[in-house]
Amino acid sequence: EIVLTQSPATLSLSPGERGTLSCRASQSVSSDLAWYQQKPGQAPRLLIYDASNRATGIPARFSGSGSGADFTLTISSLEPEDFAVYYCQQRRNWPWTFGQGTKVEIK
Amino acid sequence: EVQLVESGGGLVQPGGSLRLSCAASGFTFRDYWMTWVRQAPGKGLEWVASIKADGSEKHHVDSVKGRFTISRDNAQNSLYLQLSSLTAEDTAVYYCARAGHTNYWRGIGCWGQGTLVTVSS
């Protein structure tokens, strides 16, 4: 099983600041990595697929990078609605796995 | 509009069984892999199972193998998850989600609102 480790567990930032979230895989997942955003009481929302492709309707302030085992989700300038929990997920091997999540909170 | 609507959740005793359903609309259901993902209260996301567009390939997470079974009915645009031998550790919100198209991958792009399964005596 591929283990995804996200860091930090919590990121405290102010609106307008840049957020950088990390996801590290226990072995290479090539570019088969996605990022999701989840707000309390809501279903997850796809942000990025294949490491760097923004999903339909996702603002340009969200960007993904990386390949192999190290990935980054960057939020260039945090908007109030971006404070949420973010998960990475790999589909390289079965079982698909998610990271444990990074909570982005208001500082 | 793409919609996924889960049903079938509820309170069940340990050792019991339940069948979750997911009604899909707004897209060509038979062209997509479908997936179940769960989230225990206050915890992160856990992939549970996926099924190929034509139903010919299925995958389950080890913790549910032999107890849960994913299936689909393309004529009814429906996805199912049969849960049995339930334990308290299976208590979670279960999400139905649309995964990759037969011909391309765009991530797990559509999710239902979730259905809560509570295992308790």
- Strands, E assignment, A1-107: 4-7, 10-13, 19-25, 33-38, 45-49, 53-54, 62-67, 70-75, 85-90, 97-98, 102-106
Q: What is the pLDDT of residue B102?
A: 87
Give the pLDDT confidence of B21-35 residue by residue, as tens digits.
Answer: 999 999 999 999 999
Alpha-carbon distance of A104 to A83, in angstroms, equals: 5
Give the pLDDT confidence of B37-50 residue by residue, as tens digits.
Answer: 999 999 999 999 99
Alpha-carbon distance of B112 to A1, in angstroms, equals: 26
CB-neighbour burial class of residue A50 (10 A; exposed 0-12, middle 13-18, buried 19+): middle
Beta bridge partners of B45: B39
Task: At B93, list the tokens.
Answer: 């919100």
Give the pLDDT confidence of A42-54 residue by residue, as tens digits.
Answer: 999 999 999 999 9
Q: What is the pLDDT of residue B13?
A: 98
Q: Give rounded-to-5 percent helix, strand, coil for chain A.
A: 5, 50, 50
Q: Do A94 and B114 touch (CB under 8 A)?
A: no
Give the pLDDT confidence of B57-115 residue by residue, as tens digits.
Answer: 999 999 999 999 999 999 999 999 999 999 999 999 999 999 989 888 889 999 999 99
Name the one residue in this structure whose structure tokens are 């309170």.
B11
pLDDT > 90? residue A17: yes
Partner B contacted by A87 (CB < 8 A) = yes
Instruction: Indicate the pLDDT class of residue A75, thresholds 50, 70 and 90.
Output: very high
Report phi then psi at B62, rounded to 5: -55, -40
Chain A interface test: which of B108, B110, B115 (most A C-beta within 10 Å): B108
Q: Do A98 and B46 touch (CB under 8 A)?
A: yes
The total number of residues written for chain A in this structure? 107
* Residue A8, preceding peptide bond in cis (omega within 30° of 0): yes
The alpha carbon of residue A56 is apart from the nearest alpha carbon of chain B, in Å, by 9
On whether the CB atoms of residues B35 and B99 are closer than 8 A, the answer is yes
On whether the CB atoms of residues B24 and B112 are closer than 8 A, the answer is no
Q: What is the pLDDT of residue B104?
A: 87
Q: What is the pLDDT of residue B71?
A: 98
